[in-house]
Amino acid sequence: MKRLAFVIGGAASLALAGCGSGNQDAVNNAELNQPAAEDLNALANDAAANAEDQNLANQQLQLNDENAAADSNGSNPTEDQEKNVDAM
């Protein structure tokens, strides 16, 4: 029984020693597959700018819709009112 425990322990230690070698090729491959920090920053800035542009476009559409609704509900100004605005 002691021999069996010794053999199993030795095999386990050899297997663990083989796995923990710190394979530099795998580390280099992982580093090559990572994008550079500058690329990530540029992508983040582009995404933020696109989101801001989209928000501004949505606000403009909302304002246009509100103005169209207000124009359709209101009465047309009289000629005197138009002249008054032009004089300002």
Structure tokens at 60: 């403009």
As a whole number, the mean pLDDT across the chain is 79
User: Model confidence over 16-59: pLDDT tens digits?
Assistant: 766 656 666 667 777 777 778 888 899 999 999 999 999 999 99
Instruction: Please give the pLDDT value at position 84.
Output: 73
Residue 71 has pLDDT above 60, yes or no: yes
**What integer pLDDT is reported at residue 24 of this predicted model?**
67
Residues 11, 15, 21, 24: is their CA dihedral positive or negative?
positive
3-state SS assignment for residue 36? coil
b or e along 32-54 (b: 16 or more beta carbons within 10 Å of the residue's beta carbon)? eeeeeeeeeeeeeeeeeeeeeee
Structure tokens at 61: 């559409």
* pTM (2 d.p.): 0.40
Three-state DSSP state, 51: helix
